[in-house]
Amino acid sequence: MHWLTVIVTTLLLVDAKLFKPSTPPRGWNSYDSFPVGNETIALRAADSLVSSGLAKLGYHYLTLDAGWFGSPVVIDEYGRPLPDPKLFPSAKSGSFRPLVQAINQRGLAFGLWYMGGMPKISAERNTPILGTTFRAQDIIFKDETYCPRWLPDWGYEIDHKHPAAQAWFDSLAELWSKWGIELIKLDCVNAEDESFSHRMDILSFYSAFQKVPTNTVFSLSPGGFANISQLLDIAPYTSMARITDDFWDNWQLYMNEGGGGGYASGASHWDAARDLVSAVRNSGSTFWVDLDMLPLGRIGHAGSSCSPAGPGCPRQDRFSLMEKRSIISLWGFVQAPFIWGGDPTTLTPEIKALLANENVLDMVIDINYSHEALRVNVTNSGYIVWQGSSKSSEGSIYLAFFNILNNPQTISVDWADLGISGCTAYDILELWSSAPVKCTTKATVHLDTHAVWLLKLVPNK
């Protein structure tokens, strides 16, 4: 039995009922567009998701990212972060409940970003741990910063061997449940490879979520799970988890060059998808592999300087239309959650058409056994082909041909190389355009730079 399984069996006090969405979650997260969310931003985003029709298409979770608890961090008598009333006037009583209800009335679910460990201000005040006789300083390592890479001033690591450690996590889950929070995005987990404390945070939150009535989507960020066994280890205890660092609007950096934002020392997103996703998706576990938010439309943080990657200054994303389609297509084959990061109040027809393409959204739900089928990268020829089957239509096949060259090219692939004995037995549809495709001797297409040819082959009569 693996060490993780041994530990979790000692943690759980009730039967495991972690919310496992049967389809990859969709929604919106504030971070790509706003450094710190507030009540006005949340309500305007909710109204835009509803009025645009995206909410009806399943963009259901509205998540506020970092900063909702203010600076310095606002806490209650038990050291738990509270919404800053300067940012959220309806939370002057210390509860997110009024805002959550307003979001729920619009048909959406409310989510929160959270950093693990113990906030420094809670440790400094040595607040009591709810339900115990212990205090904050009893359950922390005072010389171990929780997330030195991203948020060094946040707080301390938890001593999971302390008898009151689990009570701290239980108190957080209880508070969030009272507010009606339906998604928690836990940051900086596994930032150090195989970090014991961070892995235990995952299990402690998992245990805590079993004890509250709320169905909580438990999302891990930023990822860094560098091998398949690690990812499969945590799959039973989470709803979704990142396998990449933050993804921004720089194709070369994230997709082609492999120098930033990927898993395992910065490999490209193609590599992350190929090496990890198919193994997890085909493992039988109801667990969604996250490639990060979709930074499409108006993104960036007011007051920040412009940069080739990262939040940077406010801007329209730098991707071409063809690149946007390729990115969404890869996310679709991976069955990654579609969490949009653009500003909903500035939604353009182009971005809406990308996020709302029903052929693609249906594919995300329907695709099965998706995997990278071919990768060619030689002089004057660079392309990747992904392939999958259909759950709902026996014999149907999904194919995506991606041009990874920095210039247009014609791709021609023998059907046999994809395990298909010709295309005459199929009706073929290009999913982005809904246009029928004529059967030819080979799968042949001319693609613009970084474009995709996204097909569904349905057996004909």
Q: Which of 323, 356, 389 is the last residue of a domain?
A: 356
Q: Which of 48-57, 275-284, 428-437 has the lowest mean pLDDT?
A: 275-284
319/387 same-domain check = no
Q: CA-based angle 305:306:311, to the nearest 5?
A: 90
Question: Are 412 and 444 within 8 A, CB to CB?
Answer: yes
Final residue of a structural domain among 297, 328, 356: 356
282 and 226 in a common domain: yes
One domain for residues 304 and 172 = yes
Residue 391 forms part of a structural domain:
yes
User: Of 335, 356, 377, which residue sits at a domain end?
Assistant: 356
* Confidence bin at 243 (pLDDT 50/70/90): confident
Q: Which percentage of the chain shows pLDDT scores above 70?
A: 90
Q: Residue 146 corresponds to which tokens in the numbers above?
A: 């929780």
pLDDT tens digit sequence for 215-225: 999 999 876 66
Q: How far from 285 is each of 214, 233, 243, 420, 425, CA to CA, in Å?
A: 22, 11, 16, 28, 33
Give the separation between CA 300 and CA 343, rounded to whole angstroms: 9
What tokens appear for 332 in the block?
Answer: 């679709």
For the question of whether the overall pTM of this predicted structure is more than 0.75, the answer is: yes
Residues 402 and 299 in one domain: no
Beta carbons of 420 and 294 less than 8 angstroms apart: no
Residue 361 in any domain: the answer is: no
Ramachandran angles phi, psi of 142, nearest 5°: -70, -20
The token duo for 287 is 């667990």
In a domain, 240, yes or no: yes
Both tokens of 300, joined, read 């960036």
Split into its structural domains, the chain has a count of: 2
Q: Residue 190's pLDDT is what?
A: 65
104 pLDDT band, cuts 50/70/90, is very high
The greatest distance separating any two alpha carbons of the chain, rounded to the nearest whole angstrom, comes to 75
The predicted model gives 227-255 an average pLDDT of 86
Distance (Å, rounded) from C-alpha 273 to C-alpha 228?
11
Lowest mean pLDDT, pick from 78-92, 118-132, 253-267, 339-353: 253-267
Distance set, CA 437 to CA 115, 166, 454, 459 (Å): 48, 57, 11, 14
Around Cβ 298, how many Cβ atoms within 10 Å?
Answer: 19
- Considering the domain architecture, whether residues 203 and 174 belong to the same structural domain is answered as yes
Instruction: For residues 26 and 137, state if they share a domain.
Output: yes
Q: Does residue 449 share a domain with residue 309? A: no
Q: Which two tokens stand for residue 252?
A: 């070369």
Poorest-confidence range of 17-26, 396-405, 447-456? Answer: 17-26
Query: Which CATH number do you get for residue 129?
Result: 3.20.20.70
284 Cα distance to chain centroid: 19
Listed in sequence order, the residues at least 6 apart from 379 whose beta carbon sits closer than 8 Å to its beta carbon are: none
Residue 406 forms part of a structural domain = yes
- Across the chain, mean pLDDT equals 90
Residues 199 and 312 placed together within one structural domain of the fold: yes
DSSP 243-268: SSS---S-HIIIIIS--SS-HHHH--
Say whether both 279 and 373 belong to one domain: no
**Are both 285 and 434 inside the same structural domain?**
no
- 436 located within any domain: yes
C-alpha span between 347 and 269 (Å, rounded): 26
Question: Would you say residue 188 lies in a domain?
Answer: yes
* pLDDT tens string 182-204: 999 999 886 555 578 888 999 99
**379 and 404: one domain?**
yes
| Beta strands per DSSP E along 337-380 | 338-340, 367-378
Q: Where do runs of H (alpha helix) occur along 158-275?
A: 165-179, 196-209, 228-234, 251, 263-266, 269-272
**Could you tell me the CATH number of the domain that includes residue 375?**
2.60.40.1180
Residue 90 sits in the same domain as residue 235 = yes
pLDDT tens digits for range 109-129 = 999 999 999 999 999 999 999
374 is in which domain, residue-wise?
A: 369-459
pLDDT in tens, 248-263: 999 988 887 655 555 5
**230 belongs to a structural domain:** yes
Task: Confirm whether 363 is domain-assigned.
Answer: no
